[in-house]
Structure 1
Amino acid sequence: MTTRTSKDARSLIVVSRDYGELGFATSFLRGQAFASRAAIMLPDNLFASNTTSFLRGPGFASQAATVLPGDLSGDNGASPTIPAFQFRTLRDILDLVNTHKPDLVFLFSGYLLSNQRGVLSPESLDALLRYLRERGCRVITSDPFLGLAPQLTLAQIDTRMLTSGQTLWERWRMRLVLRLQGPRTKVVGVRSLEDVTHLYPTSIPPRGGNVPMVSFFNPNIVRAAAELRAARDALLQADADKLPPRWLFVVSSTDLECQHRLVGRRKFRGKVLRLLWHALAAGRRPTLIAPASILDGLSSKVPDLVELLSSCPLAEFEERLLEAEYVFYWNAFSFSQLSRLANELPVFLFDRGHLARTVKPYYEIARSCHYGAWEPPYLDQTHPFDLRELAELAARQKPAMRMLRERWQSSPTPDQLVDQLMGTGVKPAPA
């Protein structure tokens, strides 16, 4: 019997509404042999801004393709593409399963596909998993909760954060429901995912129960030496042209809701506005990528040199991410930080982020799993920037980032992991 490998594997990637999960999915696909036989499904909020159309097949029927960020290792200069399909319902996914006939189905993430903001209902997710098992597909899910989901109880949740972004009536109703359920109620676990292989982008977290866990590291996210020299030359040229270095500030919708809950909508907007002006005063060109709701109140209060973006295709976002001198986050564990850290580019934090503030045990587990108990430096977002202090903090990050990358490199590449997955059987659906 011939052993099938990553070159033979047909894969289907299903992405939730979460932008970070799209980044996770593309980092798994980038520069890999198995990606040539993969297809990706995106929900409506990600599809239009991250796909392009090309002509293919008889009659030149238009087919959408997602554009993946380029291979940064230098082995492949062109940005690869992968067939992309939009989905809104369970039937959309099942139809593509029937036509694409995948061996492996990756959910980014199964937990987010059926949560409060998910595309599928919990019942639809259960039906999808049953159908995939019946067809003999191996199912893998990413896990934003780092193994905590099956045992996480209401007592371990800050319920104030669960209601961020909701109306007063919605907040009152949810709190009433949660209070009636009691502190021992499990609030995140999805029983049908408990025997699904869980995938992690850095290291495997402490095991919880019998959930199968695997990790990977894609060396193609690391820029080649020639690329690094080109980036340094570009910075020198920008200096010669009197263009200030770019600073990037990133606020996700969930982190914006978290900050609104912590300090209030108006106060947080004021903090961000002052940070942008502090960046200008430091001689830098600030770019803020954030939801439109906060940008609307800032656009008339900053000069044209400040770039305000409510959305950004993933490939463009990565270019901005790696081009920036410094990147600032309100989340200690944003997925895009991994690319910066793997390339030894400094990152600064203003806050722990929505998940670390919502799930009480999450922060220490995430810090250990992702960063080996290290963490990027935190800044006081009410203070002006001190260029000398930032340069010193950036320099101190270098040795830690190098050690982190070496730690991550102990995991298999995505192709190697797919080889392993192709060599293992599929668990039968529970009765």
Structure 2
Amino acid sequence: MTAFEATRAWAEAQDAADPLRAFRDEFHIPAHAGADTLYFCGNSLGLQPKGVRAAIEAELSDWAELAVEAHFRGRLPWMHYHEYVRDAMAEVVGARPHEVVAMNSLGANLHLMMVSFYRPTAERSAILMEAGAFPTDRYALESQVRFHGFDPSRDLIELQPDGPGGTLSMTAIERAIAEHGHRVALILLPGVQYRTGQVFDLEAIVRLGHAQGCVVGFDLAHAVGNLPLALHDAGPDFAVWCTYKYLNAGPGAVAGAFVHERHARADLPRFAGWWGHDKSTRFQMGPHFSPTPGADGWQLSNPPILALAPLRASLNVFTRSGMARLVEKSRRLTAYLDWLIRTRLDDTLDIVTPDDPTQRGAQLSIRVRAGRDAGRSLFEHLERHGVIGDWREPDVIRLSPVPLYNRYADCFGAVEAIEAWVR
């Protein structure tokens, strides 16, 4: 591996030699003071692929010209539209096509999955989660516990951080599963902890949980399109994710869900809807629900075409770039930003995110040593100077160099902007 250098010339040379550099031109980069922003917020909202406008306009044209007949005679007939993103999304998450579906939002999908996979009993009623989880998860899990008549103060077990910067060790996870597994109905953890950027070992957690008889699911909001995932082989019972972060499908975009194929034909309780009915008999309009095998069987309503079109356009970029190449660039790009901060700002900033490349993705969470007020001051300074990250309470700035459109020169520019604030 080439040694890093803290010069703009070196960063620009790396960008010029980057085999993925052309993909940046496929995204709209917001402007600041006549130049491109240094956009490090793809972990919150990915940039807009330039192909999105044409994808949406094609569906608008079919609607205008064909109306209801576009369900059958459109360029991409709407009847099957959710299937047009299936193979590419399965490739991104390491699943088999029938194990994934694009539908709803992440929060709605999490509740739908828990209807099927959180089946508490008097003896096994608890949910194991991480403390400080993203609010969607915390609210959903607590409400499900209450819905089933149990007490969150007893039946919501929150793993407390025990590592540097508020991270959670695998030892702590293993110990908690061993201690509480006999009464845990569901383990629900993230692929990436949103505040710290720590990556969790999905396969190990599944193995430990299943050995104790627990159902295991994951919220992969910050992992999909970011990490090398292998959901089928890792074997969780289910997973959910959004598509507006690294998958660049737009604000509030249609989310995704995974149901392992061992449940494809299982007679699981679920909230049923017409579009989840076996498609071979769906239009017989019968009164009895017969679920489509696989993840499609959890759908409620027909797919939102204008919302799925941006996801289809973005996944086309992923298909052409390939997750393996993106992950390779991501690790080196994030390592460069990490190295610059440690080399030039070590007396000012702490990096919360683990330095082990296998325990992080395209995100570094940083804290200003002088405290929260100084952290807010730095964050606002960066915004004024066209460096776009995000702030997470109480004191974390997140910077995410996304391999599809971020550059080594962006990392160098962000550190220069931080140094200007320090001075």
Q: Do these two structures clear the TM 0.5 threshold for a shared fold by scoring above it?
A: no
| Structure-1-length-normalised TM-score | 0.30
With a CA cutoff of 8 Å and minimum separation of 6, indicate the structure with the bigger relative contact order: 2
